[in-house]
Amino acid sequence: MLDCLCAGLAVADHLCIPVSRMPRAGELLLTERLELQTGGHAANVSTDLAKLGVRVGISARIGADLFGRFIRERLTQSGVQTEGLVETPGVDTSGTLIINVQGEDRRFIHAIGANGEFDGTEITTEQLKSIRVLYVGGLYALPKLSATAIRQLFQNARSAGVATILDVVIPGPADYLSTLREVLPWTDVFLPNNDEAEIITGQHDPHSQAKIFQQLGAKTTIITCGGAGTVVLSGTDRIRTQAFPVNFVDGTGSGDAFAAGYILGMLEGAETLRCLEIGSALGASCVRRTGASAGVFTRPELDEFLQVNHMVSTKIA
């Protein structure tokens, strides 16, 4: 029995400690350290949930290579159940090169690799009957995961009493709304960031973005806006929250940490505002260190932080 199953992207992240600037063509620029870490929505959220003491598993694809073994070993060490990691012969494990420059947003160079073979059939009906929350992360960066496959997966989850959460990766302009029209009526929580939502909807304002997703059927829409907090539409609730002020080092994985915190609140039966507060605290903890999960709070650290820090929220008219 698991509390949550995280499905979708599993990636080997290659990243640098923030450098002062981008190197010029042909230039060698030194950094304090280069790191290899697990990344991708499913891997990040499952790692963060395991740090919080949640019983969590992952469903994803990796290559039969060194980086695939690294992902499996690192997730297992973190406390994630990895039986759902499927080795896919003949393809490399997915990888992302993350370039961190001081004072700037991250830059990504990504190879899809084994993630390109994930199509949702990896998740069985028996698995759905043994979990409470199903998180799918990386829609649109998983070429074989179709809208119909997610809809059927979410329908089966709903039938089993399982809450459904969807996150996306937007590689560039395209018609994403047609997919979401099929999927969002079966989605309990939709979690794009404001840049992704702007590409999908053509709207710059996060509230306007969220309204479109609500009209398409999402029960709760959360637009994460980095240091500007979140905009949330859930039923008749219209909420804007502020981010917790922390020392920013690297934003990698902060949205995934937010998702993990929100899922923790759901599992504990918390109201929407409390789920948002837990998610915001976990997201803030992530950006204090380089990498997707290195700085994320453990459960005692989260509880201690929220005893002295409180999220500011306002209702949107």
Q: Which residue has the tokens 């702007």?
A: 198
Whether 27 is in a domain gets the answer: no
| Amino acid occupying residue 284 | A
Whether 270 is in a domain gets the answer: yes
Asked which of 100-104, 195-199, 264-268 is least confident by mean pLDDT, the reply is 100-104
Does residue 231 register a pLDDT over 80? yes
Task: Say how far apart CA 215 and CA 85 lie, in whole Å.
Answer: 35
Q: What is the mean pLDDT of the chain?
A: 95
pLDDT at 40 (0 to 100): 95
CA-based nearest residue to 250, from 25, 3, 32:
32
Is residue 219 very low, low, confident or very high in pLDDT (cuts 50, 70, 90)?
very high
Whether 141 is in a domain gets the answer: yes
Is residue 281 very low, low, confident or very high in pLDDT (cuts 50, 70, 90)?
very high
Range of the domain at 174: 4-21+33-315
The pTM of the full predicted model, rounded to 2 decimals, is 0.94
Whether 28 is in a domain gets the answer: no
Residue 166's DSSP bridge partners are 136, 190
Looking up residue 195, the CATH number of its domain turns out to be 3.40.1190.20
Q: What is the mean pLDDT of residues 53-64?
A: 98
Cβ 36 vs Cβ 61: under 8 Å? no
pLDDT at 172 (0 to 100): 84
Q: What is the mean pLDDT of residues 193-205?
A: 96
* Tokens, residue 239: 């909420």
Q: What is the mean pLDDT of residues 171-184?
A: 93
Is residue 129 very low, low, confident or very high in pLDDT (cuts 50, 70, 90)?
very high
Cβ 197 vs Cβ 223: under 8 Å? yes
Is residue 250 very low, low, confident or very high in pLDDT (cuts 50, 70, 90)?
confident
pLDDT at 271 (0 to 100): 94
| Amino acid occupying residue 90 | G
Burial (CB count within 10 angstroms: exposed 0-12, middle 13-18, buried 19+), residue 87: middle
Task: Say how far apart CA 1 and CA 156 lie, in whole Å.
Answer: 17
Whether 267 is in a domain gets the answer: yes
Q: What percent of the chain has pLDDT over 70?
A: 100
* Tokens, residue 96: 């992302």
Q: What is the mean pLDDT of residues 210-216?
A: 97
Whether 279 is in a domain gets the answer: yes
Does residue 317 register a pLDDT over 80? no
CA-based nearest residue to 257, from 314, 187, 191:
191
Does residue 99 register a pLDDT over 80? yes
Whether 155 is in a domain gets the answer: yes
Does residue 103 register a pLDDT over 90? no
The total domain count for the chain is 1
pLDDT in tens, 295-311: 999 999 999 999 999 99
Does residue 191 register a pLDDT over 80? yes
Whether 93 is in a domain gets the answer: yes
pLDDT at 291 (0 to 100): 79
